[in-house]
Chain A
Amino acid sequence: DADVTQTPRNRITKTGKRIMLECSQTKGHDRMYWYRQDPGLGLQLIYYSFDVKDINKGEISDGYSVSRQAQAKFSLSLESAIPNQTALYFCATSDLTTDTQYFGPGTRLTVL
């Protein structure tokens, strides 16, 4: 997990607030992902990025936006948070030659 870090680890916010979750990696991977985890639903892909100039929507991108500031940094924003965005958010990376994903420790977000 130390190779992929996420900040903050926990966040409580109010409906309508703008929130940014940050992810940094030292694995040197080009590919980065944002997932959300809800109990009983597994992981759902929000956005993914193959490099700094390549960003793509995942399964559940509505209400979210991302920014790939550098190869090592990929941030997720909630422009106007709503309660059903309360979840555990994970950042992950992978390289071009393997299929293995490496996950950060997660950010627990609560929207009141």
Chain B
Amino acid sequence: AQSVAQPEDQVNVAEGNPLTVKCTYSVSGNPYLFWYVQYPNRGLQFLLKYITGDNLVKGSYGFEAEFNKSQTSFHLKKPSALVSDSALYFCAVRDPASHRGGYQKVTFGTGTKLQVIP
């Protein structure tokens, strides 16, 4: 069974400092990996995804994520945090090997609250 873990409930970082939000996964095949962001009173918004190719994926709002197959990780990063980056971040994984009637289930992590301190 596939799973995804976000080991930190909350991450605090000073404005202007680099940030990292951690994600590890477990799948039987090669994973499709996603990051979504949720601002207060809003739905989740897509940030970036890894399907194949370059291990470093660039996404919206200056975010990037690095796929590390040996460590089964897909950490979200940004070189310089902004106060407006404060939000809830979700990692998600899809296992192409989990075919079921054409739907390959997407499993979401429990979310990490990012707090950027001015």
Contacts and interface: CB of A to CB of B under 8 A. Distances in A.
A43 B34 CA distance: 14
Q: Is the interface of B mostly helix, strand, loop or mixed?
A: strand
B99 interface: no
Nearest to B111: A42
A47 B101 CA distance: 14
Interface string B37-79: 0000111111001010000000000000000000000000000
A4 B42 CA distance: 11
Given A99-B32, A106-B43, A43 B105 contact: no
Given A42-B111, A50-B103, A90 B43 contact: yes
Q: Is the interface of A mostly helix, strand, loop or mixed?
A: strand
Interface centre among A4, A45, A50, A99 (most CB of B within 10 A): A99
A104 B43 contact: yes
A43 B51 CA distance: 21
